[in-house]
């Protein structure tokens, strides 16, 4: 047997969801090595105290257990809401549908929110518990990506050309600070285009999932009552290496979306006013809100649109 056949066979056997014997008999394993359970010792030797199948089972038992453990660490709120058994059942299905294909475990949970969306039970009306699960998974995954992804804190970047600030300057933006903002003349204000922090994410949720997640962390995983449904517009970002989140109004959310799409400030305000005419703040509130966004480093660069 070639090394490639042996590895392909062993992987098919130890990752089989129904265990080693089913793995040995599976079409995939049989295609690589046509060996039966009875003849397994022609591939895997036994030890004095364990048979070949039991020895393979050490790898088999560990495969899903290890990855479920990782998934549970990334999605503690989903796990808490489902309970360990149900979480492991869903996670087990997910890992079969989306096995790790990356060198890093950071990728393992990437498709989990989407998997929950696609497998949502059709007969349960929305928004209800499946949607809360999907929301929790979405927020927890966003936290992971924002926590370890590109941010605005200074790092000794060996590859300085790819740093956030280098990219900003290369795209013709100037750094935006509260002082810079104050120095922009009122006549230019509407024409500015903004560069968001690379870690800024906008999430549309059916539940205040972030509150459940925070409550769970504070209670150190004791029982926390799940929140009732409530449309929630969440901004997630990172400052000082910690993930931050804020709830915004429908109007603010629309402004943020338009700014992220590259609209000038005045165009974004107009877009948002058309979209959220039932939710218009006063112009002083708009100005104060915008200043707050700059202070919170949601936007880090600006240029005059022309």
Partner 1 sequence: MTATNSLTPRLGYPHLGFGVGLRATHYPYILEHEPAVDWFEIISENYMDSQGRPRYVLEQIAERYPVVMHGVSLSIGSTDPLNLEYLARLKRLAAWTQAVWISDHICWTGVNGVNGHDLLPLPYNDESLNHVIARVRQVQDYLERPLVLENPSSYVTFRESTMTEWDFATSLCEATGCGLLLDVNNVFVSCFNHDLDPLEFIRSLPHDRIVQFHLAGHTHCGTHIIDTHDNFVIDQVWELFRLAHELTGGVSTLLEWDANIPDFKTVHAEVLKARDFMHATPMNRPQVTESLKIEPQRRRAVPQPASFITAEAE
Report the C-alpha gap between 259 and 286 in whole angstroms.
Answer: 14
In Å, what is the CA distance from 285 to each residue of 39, 67, 163, 265, 281?
76, 47, 34, 15, 6
Contact window for partner 1 (CB under 8 A) among 51-59, 173-181, 189-197, 222-230: 51-59
Q: HSE on the CB side for 1, CA within 13 Å?
A: 18
Exactly one of 34, 47, 186, 225 binds partner 1 (CB under 8 A); which one?
47
Residue position matching structure tokens 């600006």: 302
**String marking each residue 160-199 x if it binds partner 1 according to CB under 8 A:** ----------------------------------------
Q: Is 103 in the site for partner 1 (CB under 8 A)?
A: yes
Q: Is 48 in the site for partner 1 (CB under 8 A)?
A: yes
CA nearest neighbour of 94 among 71, 121, 128, 66: 71
Q: Contact 35/24 with Cβ under 8 angstroms?
A: yes
Q: HSE on the CB side for 38, CA within 13 Å?
A: 0
Q: Is 49 in the site for partner 1 (CB under 8 A)?
A: yes
Q: Rounded to the nearest whole angstrom, what is the least distance from the CB of residue 264 to partner 1 in the complex?
A: 29
Exactly one of 78, 133, 146, 216 binds partner 1 (CB under 8 A); which one?
146
Q: Is 156 in the site for partner 1 (CB under 8 A)?
A: yes
Report the C-alpha gap between 231 and 135 in whole angstroms.
Answer: 11
Which residues in this chain contact partner 1 in the complex, by CB under 8 A? 1-4, 6-8, 10-11, 14-15, 41-45, 47-50, 52, 54-56, 58-59, 61-63, 65-67, 69-70, 73-74, 76, 99-106, 108, 140, 143-144, 146-151, 153, 155-156, 158-159, 213-214, 217, 238, 241-245
């Amino acid at each position: 047997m070639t090394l490639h056949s042996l590895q392909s066979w062993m992987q098919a056997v130890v990752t089989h969801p129904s265990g080693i014997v089913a793995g040995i008999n599976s079409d995939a394993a049989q295609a690589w090595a046509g060996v039966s359970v009875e003849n397994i010792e022609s591939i895997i030797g036994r030890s004095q105290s364990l048979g070949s199948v039991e020895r393979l089972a050490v790898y088999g038992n560990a495969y899903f257990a290890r990855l479920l453990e990782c998934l549970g660490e990334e999605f503690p709120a989903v796990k808490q809401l489902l309970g360990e058994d149900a979480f492991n059942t869903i996670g087990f299905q997910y890992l079969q549908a989306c096995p790790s294909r990356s060198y890093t475990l950071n990728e393992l949970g990437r498709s989990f929110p989407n998997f929950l969306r696609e497998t949502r039970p059709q007969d349960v009306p929305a928004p209800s518990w499946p949607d809360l699960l999907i929301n929790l998974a979405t927020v927890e995954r966003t936290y992971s990506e924002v926590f370890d992804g590109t941010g605005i804190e200074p790092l000794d970047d060996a590859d300085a050309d790819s740093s956030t600030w280098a990219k900003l300057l290369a795209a013709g933006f100037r750094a935006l600070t509260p002082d810079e903002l104050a120095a922009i003349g009122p006549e230019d204000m509407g024409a500015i285009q903004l560069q968001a922090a690379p870690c800024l994410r906008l999430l549309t949720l059916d539940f205040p999932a972030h509150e459940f997640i925070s409550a769970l962390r504070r209670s150190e995983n004791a029982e926390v009552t799940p929140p009732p449904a409530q449309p929630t517009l969440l901004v997630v970002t990172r400052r000082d290496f910690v993930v931050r989140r804020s709830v915004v109004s429908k109007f603010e959310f629309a402004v943020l979306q338009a700014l992220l799409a590259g609209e000038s400030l005045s165009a974004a305000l107009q877009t948002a006013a058309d979209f959220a005419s039932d939710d218009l703040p006063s112009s002083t509130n708009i100005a104060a809100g915008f200043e707050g966004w700059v202070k919170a480093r949601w936007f880090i660069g600006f240029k005059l649109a022309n």
